[in-house]
Amino acid sequence: MALENTFPEILGVYSLQQDAVVGVGGTQSFKQQVTYWYVRRLQADLYEVQPLNAHHVPSGIRREHNEMDFLRKYVPEPSYYKTHTVPALNSLKNKLHEGEALLEQGDLDEAERMFIKALMIDGLNVTGNFGLGEVYSEKKDYIRLKRVIDTLLGIDEAFQKEQKARFNKFGISLRKNGHYDESLRFYNRALEVAEDDHLHFNVARVHFEKGDLDSCMLHLERALVLNSEFLEAQKFLKYCQGSK
């Protein structure tokens, strides 16, 4: 019972040895290639592996293995984890924390610098990309903002339930700073992953500020289908209907 309450459980770094083909034709040969993976146990019989990047931190697509398959292929590397990955993860965590604190204080230039440092360690880090995106949203730097949004749209993890508060905050920042089209791109990507009454409400607000009452009301109606007790959506829809 205690084990079940600790999931997902971080197991550290494991190595995977595979045959790699070198050369072509008559010069072709095989050699052993070793890669390193960050491992979490999700359930008693289910393991998640994620590759380490050049800076020794987990980044990229995650894969799942059953226990038998995992234990047959992967070898624990506790020394590698302690020497390389733990310090790199701590450095990343500190830079993200400092970047978020600077952003909260309104120091956009220093927040930008700190988030960029974090993303140099892991360019696909969700927190770092959200933070940098919010900086560019506040600065109204459309070119850099679009680049960050393009990155976020390609990271499935950015739209998972555990990131809900962060992507809602970012979407609101986009709307408040007048980046309506980018805000809609972002929210619509989130809706593709999972429908949510508050997401529809936020999309409705963007359409309202763009002057598109019909689309606004469609999303409010959908929010109320998902949550008929959503009082703010009820009031907003009534207001829109009275404005038609």
- Per-residue pLDDT tens over the stretch 152-186: 999 988 888 778 888 888 888 899 999 999 999 98
CA atoms within 13 A on the CB side of 63: 10
Q: What is the mean pLDDT of residues 84-113?
A: 97
Residue 25: pLDDT over 70: no
Q: How far apart are CA 217 and CA 220, in angstroms?
A: 5
| Encoded amino acid at 119, one letter | L
Q: Which residue has the tokens 């555990």?
A: 162
**Strand partners of residue 32:** 19
Q: What is the mean pLDDT of residues 60-89?
A: 96
Phi-psi region of 56 (alpha: psi -120 to 50; beta: other; left: phi over 0): left
Are 41 and 11 contacting, i.e. CB atoms less than 8 angstroms apart? yes
- Per-residue pLDDT tens over the stretch 171-228: 888 999 999 999 999 899 989 888 899 999 999 999 999 999 999 999 999 999 999 9
Q: CA torsion sign, 89 to 93 to 96 to 99?
A: negative
Q: What is the mean pLDDT of residues 59-87?
A: 96
pLDDT for the residue numbered 52: 97
Q: Which residue has the tokens 């700073």?
A: 177
- Per-residue pLDDT tens over the stretch 109-148: 999 999 999 999 999 999 999 999 999 999 999 999 999 9
Peptide bond into 8 cis (omega under 30): yes
pLDDT for the residue numbered 1: 38
